A and B are shown apart, each in its own frame.
Chain A
Amino acid sequence: MRGNKKMIASMTSWFFVLPAILVVVLLMLYPVTSSIFYSFTNKNLIKADFRMIGLDNYKAILSDKSFWTAFVTNLKWTAISLAGQLFVGFTAALALNRIKRGSGIYRTLLIIPWAFPSIVLAFSWKWILNGVSGFLPNILVKLGICETAPQFLSSAELAFPTLVFLNIWFGAPLMMVNILSALQTVPQDQYESAQLDGASGIQSFCHITFPHIRMVVGLLVVLRTIWVFNSFDIIYLITGGGPGNKTMTVPIYAYDTGWGMRMLGKSSAVTVLLLLFLLLVCSLYFRLLNRWEKESTS
């Protein structure tokens, strides 16, 4: 009788987690294992026959100069975009938290970029920045700020910074919204007592605000690191990695290898390497987050 009840109880427990386990296992197991498997083969995208070639793909990639260039670009892309998103998001949240009137309006306007699907983002900015008939290059010339129309997306110097700017433009609202709501959970009385103790604005930021919101920030950074590192759409749709590979990141490199050159095996190896790297970075992040968590609970 008791055993029966226990079994029912444990069955209901399973009822909760089983669907999630199924989705993860069923939907991820095959694609992931097959990708890992293909990374050891010379599989061509459009041909059926292939054979095992051991670590050849990995060797070829790791000795390919353009892979490393793409990797470095990817690191820069992730680091600068994230720093920018965090900075803009943070400062905007602090400003929004400060003002009393009109904060609702500002907040509404500021989250607009987040509502842009990447394809619309690509279209609209490509049109605004178009070197021949785009608004921005032409207005800069007209106002006498630039002598000739700046080539935001096609010059070697500007293409990458422009893309990073667009990524910040797109990603900052998410940071802002979450940091703002974390800021609002900081108990006001702590500030007031700190003020009575004569603490400066910076001091109270360091000792009250930041410890309070760092978990949110930490979590956001982890999530966005993964997202930005893997991001494909924005770069693919705007520059496709060009000009002169200046905006080539690893996901674009993988796409070019897999689809452009049809070397599915090699492109699988690229993405496996990408995954390994992300795992490494995230385990470091998590170590930090765990420490913070322990600090705040103790």
Chain B
Amino acid sequence: MKRKLSLLLMTALLATTLAACTSSSGGDASTTPAETSNAASEEKTQEADEAPADTGTTQEAEVAETEADELEGEITFWHSFTQGPRMENIQAAAEAFMTDHPKVKINIETYSWGDFYTKWTTGLASGNVPDMSTARAGEVVEMINADAILPLDDLIDSIGRARFYESPIQEMTYSDGNCYAVPIYSHAFVMWYRKDLLEKYNLEVPKTWDEFNEAATAITQGENGEVYGCSVPMGTNDLYATCFLDTYVGSNRESLITQDRKPNLTSPTALEGIQYWVDMYKNNSPADSINFNTLDQATLYYQGKNAFDFNSGFHISGVEANTPELLDYIDCAPVPTINGDGNPDYIVNNMPMVVWKNSAHPEICKAFIEYFYEPDNYIPFLHSVPVGMMPALKEITNDPAFLNNDTIKKYQNAMETISDALSHGTYIAMEYGPCVEAGILANQRVIENMFQDIVLNGTPVEEAAQAAEEQLLELFSAAE
């Protein structure tokens, strides 16, 4: 026993000394360069505050720049635009920026949304986050709460606050009055349908949820499994059931959250909405959709196997990539409403870009973002998913260069529908401003689990909604 103990002690002692050695030597090696560049950048940030305004915007400014004003350093930029053209556009912009600023290096990494989430949360614990990144709207408040990102008001003012649409900026302005993100584009969830199928079954574009149900049912029955009326995605690895429910509730201009930030799944409209989608799932959706995430759901529409879907203008490029022969038959329309008054609130997603507090070079991030908004970079970026990404800057919306795109011209109606939707809505549960609760409601899969529970276990809607509400309440209070 004694021997065991002494052995243990010895190993422990050895371990600690060795640990101390490695950490100090490793620390030295890694911090020295970082520290020096840190110190250098600190000096620079003061000047850099006004520097972004003249870097890269005008040629003369660049010439006039003194050595000290020149941007220098390496930044890492994580984004989730894994799709080819968008990725290439960002890469091209970064390369052009690096040519203008030879001492700057921008490392770009792309992650799918799910992986990005795992990475930034774990990264925050280990001090391993990027300098700048995209984010999901629901996550920004969490990042603020974790004291992880920087206010970007100086950047917004430098670009010109008035040039941005007001609502995205408002949505990203936290209760402390600072705005922590810039919108790089916007999109809204509208109703996508298939013109050919509506024609085939002699249907009008539905304006109420009842009409929608009739149309979906007619198509499901008529197509006999070849095409589904409306797939209802309920996968717990994504937030799509929440989107569908929020679309229904929003169509009645209500919210999944109350003004005092409590979950609101048991309001008459919410209960009605849950029942509506459960019925829709049972009657008009492939059984597999209970596991569907965004991509599974969208792919079904891309392949022409889903007649109705709720999503953004990304559907056009998806169909183009999968079944181009359907391109003439797709279009979108406003979301149905309960009584057909045609005045719904939409899910609007303003894609945020954030700068991380850990960054040694926020000035480079900001300068790059500003550079990115220049029409020469920004318009090609928006054109990489035409109609899918709507400009966050007002003047671009009417810029002939932006409008001069075949897809944008072809889908005039979709452009107008989505543009109109953008001004009538917020991100999920952000009707009363950005809050952690909205992020939890959207991202914790409570609503998806609730739907699965109803479908698989036959739990009554009211009971399941009540249970989900309680679970959310618990999560809300745990987040405080």
Contact = CB atoms under 8 A, between A and B. Distances in A.
- A–B in direct contact per CB < 8 Å: yes
A94 B98 CA distance: 65
Does more than half of chain B's interface fall in helix, strand or loop, or is it mixed?
Answer: helix
B288 to A, nearest CB: 3
Q: Which of A45, A47, A48: most chain B Cβ within 10 A?
A: A47
Interface stretch (A20-28, A84-92, A176-184): A20-28
Contacts of B286: 131-132
Interface string B437-466: 000000011000100110111000000000
Nearest to B117: A259
B14 interface: yes
Given A47-B146, A242-B235, A261-B475, A156 B457 contact: yes
A140 interface: no
Contacts of B444: 260-261
Interface string B6-19: 00000110110011
Contacts of B29: none
A154 B300 CA distance: 16
A46 B148 contact: yes
A48 B291 CA distance: 35
Contact of B15 (A29, A48, A264): A29
B83 interface: no
Contacts of A151: 287-288
A242 B236 contact: yes
Q: Which of A25, A30, A242: most chain B Cβ within 10 A?
A: A242
Interface residues of B, number: 40
Interface stretch (B121-129, B169-177, B260-268): B121-129
B146 A25 contact: no
Contacts of B449: 244-245
A93 interface: no
Contact of B142 (A46, A156, A241): A46
Contacts, number: 90
Interface string B98-133: 000000000000000000011001101100000000
A66 B290 CA distance: 20
Interface in A225-278: 239-246, 259-264
Does more than half of chain A's interface fall in helix, strand or loop, or is it mixed?
Answer: loop
B121 A25 contact: no
B13 to A, nearest CB: 10
Interface string A25-44: 11001100000000000000
B287 A26 contact: no
Given A156-B456, A156-B457, A243 B300 contact: no
B19 A26 contact: yes
A154 B14 contact: no
Contacts of B122: 45, 259
Interface residues on A, range: 20 to 34
Contacts of B145: 47
Nearest to B15: A25
Nearest to B291: A154
B291 A243 contact: yes
Contact of A22 (B15, B147, B305): B15
A167 interface: no
Interface string A124-146: 00000011110000000000000
A198 B202 CA distance: 82
Contacts of A246: 456
Contacts of A245: 449, 452
Q: Which of B15, B117, B142: most chain A Cβ within 10 A?
A: B15
A122 interface: no
Interface in B168-202: none
B237 interface: yes
B478 interface: yes
Contacts of A29: 12, 15
A262 B121 CA distance: 8
A153 interface: yes
A97 interface: no
B456 A26 contact: no
A242 B300 contact: no
B11 A244 contact: no
Contact of B456 (A46, A153, A243, A259): A243
A25 B288 contact: no
A263 B15 CA distance: 30
A292 B142 CA distance: 56
B453 to A, nearest CB: 6
A259 B114 CA distance: 11
A245 B452 CA distance: 9
Interface of B: 11-12, 14-15, 18-19, 117-118, 121-122, 124-125, 142, 145-148, 234-237, 286-291, 300, 303, 305, 444-445, 449, 452-453, 455-457, 475, 478
9 contacts: A26-B15, A29-B12, A131-B287, A151-B288, A153-B288, A154-B288, A240-B237, A244-B449, A244-B453
Interface of A: 21-22, 25-26, 29-30, 45-48, 130-133, 149, 151, 153-156, 239-246, 259-264
Given A132-B288, A245-B452, 15 more contacts: A25-B14, A26-B15, A26-B18, A26-B19, A29-B15, A46-B125, A132-B300, A153-B291, A240-B237, A242-B290, A244-B455, A259-B117, A260-B445, A261-B475, A261-B478
